[in-house]
Amino acid sequence: MPDSLPAMSKHEEGTSEVALTVNGVAHRLRIDPRVTLLDAVRDELGLTGSKKGCDQGQCGACTMLVAGRRINSCLTLAVMHEGDEITTIEGLGTPGALHPMQAAFVAHDGLQCGYCTPGQICSAVGAVDEIRRGVPSHVSRDLDCISHSDEEIRERMSGNLCRCAAYPNIVAAVRDAMEAQS
C-alpha cells in the first residue's frame, strides 16, 4: 500500500485522508470529512457486518470496538479515528473459529432475525472487558461493587436494542461468556 494517496483530482477537493486499521488490516482512505465511521467501514471497506439501525445513537446496531472500547460508530466521524485500531464483528472470529462471545450467542439462541446481533456481540465483548477492568455501571455504583448479576449485564447492554426481544437469551449468553473468562 502506498504511503500516501495520489494528488487530489477536482472531484476529490474537500475530502480528507484518514488511516484506519480495521480488524488488523491497515487502510488509507480519502473521504468526505462528514462521513461517519459506520459509513466508511460499510461503504468504503465493504465490511457490512456492522448494521445501521437508527443512525442516531439510539439502537446500538452499529457498535464497534475502538482500541477495545465500544462505541456507536454512527455517532463518530471516520476522520476522528486517525491511527485507531477498530474491531468489527468480522474481526472477532471466523465461522470455523468463533469468538467465545459468538459461540455463547449461538449456544443460547441469542438472536432471532440477527440484525442487532453484530452490535450486541461487539457490545458484549466490550462490556465484559469493562467488568474485568472494574469500570463501574449504575448498578455497581448502587451496590458499591461490580457484580456478575443479570441486572448488571442488562444495565451494561441497555444501549443495544433488539426488536425481536431476544433479551433473556442475550443475557444468558453474555453471562456464560463472562463466567468462562473469569
> Residues interacting with ligand FES, by CB under 6 A?
52-55, 57-62, 72, 74, 111-117, 162-164, 166
Q: 118 vs 140, which CB is nearer to ligand FES?
A: 118
Q: How far is the CB of 109 from ligand FES (least distance, A)?
A: 10
Q: Would you say 28 or 163 has its CB closer to ligand FES?
A: 163
Identity of the residue, 122 or 146, whose beta carbon is nearer to ligand FES in the bound complex: 122
Task: Kindly write down the DSSP assignment for every residue of 78-120, as one continuous string.
Answer: GGGGTT-EEE-GGGT-BTTB--HHHHHHHHTT--SS-SSHHHH
Reading the block at residue 158, the C-alpha cell is 441497555
Rg (CA), the chain: 18
Shortest CB 88 distance to ligand FES, Å: 13
Q: Name the minimum Å distance from CB 182 to ligand FES.
A: 26
> What's at 123, amino acid-wise?
S
CB 137, min distance to ligand FES, A: 19
Cα 74 to its chain centre, rounded Å, is 11
- Closer CB to ligand FES, residue 62 or residue 172? 62
Beta-carbon contacts of residue 51 (< 8 Å; ≥ 6 apart): 61, 62, 115, 116, 118, 119
Provide the Cα torsion 33, 60, 99, 181; round to 10°.
120
Closest contact distance (angstroms) between CB of 43 and ligand FES is 14
Of residues 91 and 110, the one with the C-beta less far from ligand FES: 110
